[in-house]
């Protein structure tokens, strides 16, 4: 997510064209060549794994694959997808069906959908939500775009090795003329298992920094701080209590109106200070309203409003999955600053209160390395970018690495110019 949106806690498609076939064994692997010497971006050449055994020798039964290219078919996958998401414990909220389907409705390009599905005995055991783009060569990238903080595939935790090998073979069949580019992969993600099974050239690049806290009560978070700083934050919390600010979790049927209030507060908060233009767009508002309503209904999203004398002065959206809760977007009336309210501390206390005891282990601040987040001594976690290709497409893979290096140099130059 964009810097200004971070808090301290975190289209019809073409006609249906699907195909099903038994997954064929992967060919023998060859050593992965080194990265292009001209690229300044940090790149790791991952050694190729041995050729994966056939589906039957791995699992004792046959896997079948399907490539979903149709919006209607994607919608119909919701029950199976939801069940697999629950069985893929390390999955993040951005692999939730409601989030991805809504994103495609708002941002997708007809004819580009490529969702790779793997089933065993009819049950969905692996899924890779991808789409085809040209940048400047054919590339398969995850759904979710830049408004999603993490990308990943889904793997059934009950048989992760067999499911990852089957999905790797299915992806190889789909990516005959395209490089697979998996951005913003969180450490420990299911995609890492698929990468380990990949039999062709593959590269790993560093991606965005994320900051994370343990999912513990506020007192324990304060205990992580130096005593003088902890005392200052306790004083801020007492001020919040003295003002009488109330919290309200928005029920599912009120989500559309509450999302509109959140986005208006977000606009007011950043007015004149460089708000991200996409957050003011109609398509973003529609996506957020659709996805959050569905996710709130299944317990995967929570929209909290903060009221003073009955008036909503701040709102916060948290997205959740099996192990993680992330503060995604918030908005606050500028008048709170005049009252000396520390909005970030208010949101963190609310998030910590609601996640502790939930069984989740991580309270994520999501992407961004802003200095104010470090007040709470978070753990720094670096997302990864994985590029996978067939051997014949290694020139395209090298081209993408070169583009990443050029973009990195440009970003570093802009940062230096702003600093100077």
- Asked if 98 contacts 300 with a C-beta cutoff of 8 angstroms, the reply is yes
Dump pLDDT digits (tens) for 156-180.
999 889 999 999 999 999 999 999 9
Co-location of 338 and 369 in the same domain: yes
Q: What are the angstrom distances between the C-alpha of 53 and each of 26, 76, 157, 382?
A: 7, 32, 20, 32
Domain co-membership, 39 together with 166: yes
C-alpha–C-alpha distance, residues 154 and 167, integer Å: 10
Distance of CA 44 to the CA centre of its chain: 22
299 with 164, same domain?
no
Give the CA dihedral 166, 169, 173, 176, nearest 10 degrees: 150
Helix axes 78-87, 97-107, angle to 10 degrees: 130
Tell me the Cα Rg of the chain.
22
**What is the CATH classification number for the domain harbouring 170?**
3.40.630.30
Residues 6+ positions from 284 with CB-CB distance below 8 Å: 106, 147, 263, 278
For the stretch 210-249, pLDDT in tens is 999 999 999 999 999 999 999 999 999 999 999 999 999 9
Quick one: 133 and 271 in the same domain? no
Q: Do 333 and 278 share a structural domain? A: yes
pLDDT, mean of residues 67-96: 97
User: Within this chain, do residues 53 and 177 fall inside the same structural domain, yes or no?
Assistant: yes
Which structural domain range is residue 156 located in? 3-208+384-419
Tokens 């995967």 sit at which residue?
Answer: 300
Pick the more confident residue, 54 or 383: 383
**103, 153, 368 from 111: Cα distances, Å:** 15, 21, 33
| Number of domains, the chain | 2
**Own/partner long-range contacts of 229-235 (Cβ < 8 Å, ≥24 apart):** 229/375, 233/342, 233/345
Summarize pLDDT for 119-162 with one digit per residue, the tens: 999 999 999 999 999 988 999 999 999 999 999 999 999 988 99
- 257 is written with which tokens? 């109106």
- Considering the domain architecture, whether residues 165 and 224 belong to the same structural domain is answered as no
**Helix (H), strand (E), coil (C) string for 283-331:** HHHHHHHHHHHHHHHCCCEEEEEEEECCEEEEEEEEEECCCEEEEEEEE
- Asked if 138 and 10 sit in the same domain, the reply is yes
Model confidence pLDDT, tens digit, residues 179-213: 999 999 999 999 999 999 999 999 999 999 999 99
Q: Which of 239, 130, 230, 136 is nearest to 180 (CA)?
A: 130
d(CA 283, CA 106): 6
> Which element (helix H / strand E) includes 223?
helix 218-223
Same domain (yes/no): 219, 198: no
Query: In this structure, are 111 and 14 located in the same domain?
Result: yes
Q: Give the tens place of pLDDT for each residue, 341-369.
A: 999 999 999 999 999 888 899 999 999 88
Clarify whether residues 159 and 85 are in a common domain.
yes
Three-class secondary structure of residue 386 per DSSP: strand
The pTM of this model reads 0.85
pLDDT at 405: 85
- DSSP letter for 48, please: P
Which residues lie across from 204 on neighbouring strands? 44, 386
What SS3 class is residue 413? Answer: helix
412 and 367: one domain? no
């Amino acid at each position: 997510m964009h810097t200004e949106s971070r808090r301290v806690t975190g289209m019809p498609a073409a006609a249906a064209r699907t195909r099903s076939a038994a997954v064929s064994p992967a060919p023998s692997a060859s050593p992965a060549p080194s990265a292009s010497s001209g690229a300044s971006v940090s790149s790791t050449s991952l050694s190729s794994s041995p050729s994966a055994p056939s589906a039957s020798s791995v699992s004792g039964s046959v896997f079948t694959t399907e490539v979903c290219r149709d919006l209607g078919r994607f919608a119909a996958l919701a029950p199976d997808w939801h069940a697999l998401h629950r069985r893929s414990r390390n999955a993040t909220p951005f692999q939730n069906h409601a989030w991805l389907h809504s994103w495609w409705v708002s941002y997708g390009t007809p004819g580009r959908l490529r969702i790779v599905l793997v089933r065993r005995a009819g049950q969905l055991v692996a899924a890779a939500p991808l789409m085809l783009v040209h940048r400047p060569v054919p590339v398969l990238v995850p759904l979710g775009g830049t408004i999603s903080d993490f990308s990943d595939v889904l793997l059934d935790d009950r048989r992760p090795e067999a499911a990852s090998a089957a999905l790797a073979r299915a992806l190889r069949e789909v990516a005959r003329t395209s490089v697979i580019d998996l951005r913003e992969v969180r450490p420990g993600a299911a995609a890492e298992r698929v990468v380990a099974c990949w039999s062709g050239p593959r590269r790993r690049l560093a991606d965005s920094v994320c900051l994370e806290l343990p999912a513990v009560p506020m007192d324990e978070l304060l205990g992580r701080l130096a005593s003088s700083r902890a005392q200052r934050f306790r004083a801020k919390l007492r001020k919040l209590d003295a003002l009488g600010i109330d919290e309200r979790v928005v029920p599912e049927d009120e989500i559309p109106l509450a999302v509109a209030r959140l986005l208006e507060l977000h606009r007011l908060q950043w007015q004149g200070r460089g708000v991200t233009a996409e957050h003011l767009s109609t398509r973003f508002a529609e996506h957020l309203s659709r996805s959050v309503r569905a996710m709130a209904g299944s317990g995967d999203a929570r929209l909290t409003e903060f009221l003073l004398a009955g008036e909503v002065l701040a709102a916060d959206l948290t997205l959740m999955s099996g192990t993680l809760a992330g503060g995604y977007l918030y908005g606050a009336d500028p008048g709170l600053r005049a009252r000396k309210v520390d909005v970030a501390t208010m949101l963190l206390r609310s998030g910590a209160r609601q996640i502790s005891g939930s069984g989740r282990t991580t309270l994520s601040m999501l992407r961004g390395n802003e200095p104010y987040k470090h007040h709470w001594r978070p753990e720094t976690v670096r997302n990864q970018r994985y590029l996978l290709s067939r051997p014949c497409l290694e020139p395209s893979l090298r081209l993408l690495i070169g583009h990443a290096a050029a973009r990195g140099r440009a970003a570093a130059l802009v940062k230096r110019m702003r600093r100077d």
